[in-house]
Structure 1
């Protein structure tokens, strides 16, 4: 299966913003294993429904030019400010992931168009044609998430995969980005590791392992849930790919700490925050976004425990992931919690979106993208059973 409309060179194609032809729906998508859904634990049922509804919301938010409507404030029915390429890339990545999970052709087509549009915010390095340079502020993190989106896109052709490789080669040449004070360092490491799924090369694992050896002590001291979670995801992938024992040790150390800062499921003082994680401006700046990042890390960490038969940690990580999944899905607009809105408005704008916290009803595309990605990692981890 090939995404035949993803044709490069990019700039001219994106300027036209033509809609890709739909892909055929896969006969046996991963979502099929959750039928009948009612036999699975409640967090799993909520996660599957949350992914499907979240993907539909992202499709509805995608506009004719390929960009997503960045955010919305339902209380006053106004679009919110703050749009940027990084937030758009999180939406594109999540939609690509959900298309692979559900086998939905429309989601794959929209994700492909979004990826092409965002690639227009990059250019070939005039001094090194093996690299593609981001041309926007905060471009390194944007380049990492965009590469991840390409790697997740169903049926991405060789030319599009080559563009993801150029983005990773650019990141490879920026060692300062892996400084432990960079909160998005884990994103860059994850993008490099993700390329192994389509283009396995020894340098990827070596690059990530080298950063771990250099920065392990600093990550240990960071103690920021968002920062730590991104690092966990990258080093878990390294361990699963290369059986790197040091990577497993780092994952365990950081995930043990992460579980300790999670709000308890039995939280009588503030039950609406049960299962969530503390939020910081370093990450997405919202409990919805940051808890979804932590959920992603917990899913990765659980896979490491399964590889190594660490039963004690596996149970702890499973419970933490289930609680985080319930927190995230509780922030999703659905039929029951939107009945006070006008029917057309709630159907077109609200249902399937994730609001930013139990006390903040605003919608944002990157928060929805992170939530869908986190729920999908939970569903792929084995902790959902």
Structure 2
């Protein structure tokens, strides 16, 4: 199978359609937030484009030209006063109107609105997911299936049983295995690596209520050199939660994700500087993203919702990185100007923005090359 066949096999038509939809919605709302905060402060917005590249459809409304562009890979807004303007002599000069005339707080509000919108959208989708599907209880192991003829079947374990304690000890929220944190329910595997008598405390829900069982058994991890299996498939016990609880959990999960995202981006920058194109599971390019969406689309709408959450969180965090050319970089320049008591000169800001834009473009090219290289 050549590279093109490999790429085609990894993607599906519905996956590509859903990728375009998810990216377009995330980008549209991101740019809409920039637009709304600019207009709220009286700053004109010349154009608003959904998509990039050649314009297929345009309409003027409320002083803004609304565009639908060919490539569903992003979008943009042209806010007056954010780009250089042409002087009487034909030379570019620093803008003096619109965004440029706003105080520092107003500028930061416009720039921060986009990433904040993606963050709020991710929180809203995560809250919807938890409130609708329930939340995993990390300190419980729910048996999803029992193999026919297995040791688990002989012990009387059933699908739907919930293991709450092992050998009289409740499962913790998290455990450490080789220095890596795992959910408590995942410690069941390590328990079965220890020979001897074991006791599972099991909750069994029935039509007449819930009963607690003590399942005792003698266990040997290996017999005659062959590894023994209990014969169950298990995961966390999912429990229904209220909307406020779901929202609180969404905020907590997002806060916990920040260090992981920062490490992933830090690793990406390190690989970029050393030109290391080996595969990295933590950051995906366009093909990798479409591949993930393709798999999610084949599973369920809830799986697609999880991907939408990840996309919006990634877009929010990436745009807040203080690199000129991104929202975070622009916010940094505004803060530097405020600390100096005057904005940076036109030439300084142009040079910094150009360098930042070039860096971002090279970084994106690197991600695409690394994404494609795994098919060769």
TM over 0.5: no
TM-score (norm 2): 0.24
TM-score in terms of structure 1 length: 0.24
- Larger fraction in strand: 2
Structure with higher helix content: 1
Bigger Cα Rg: 2
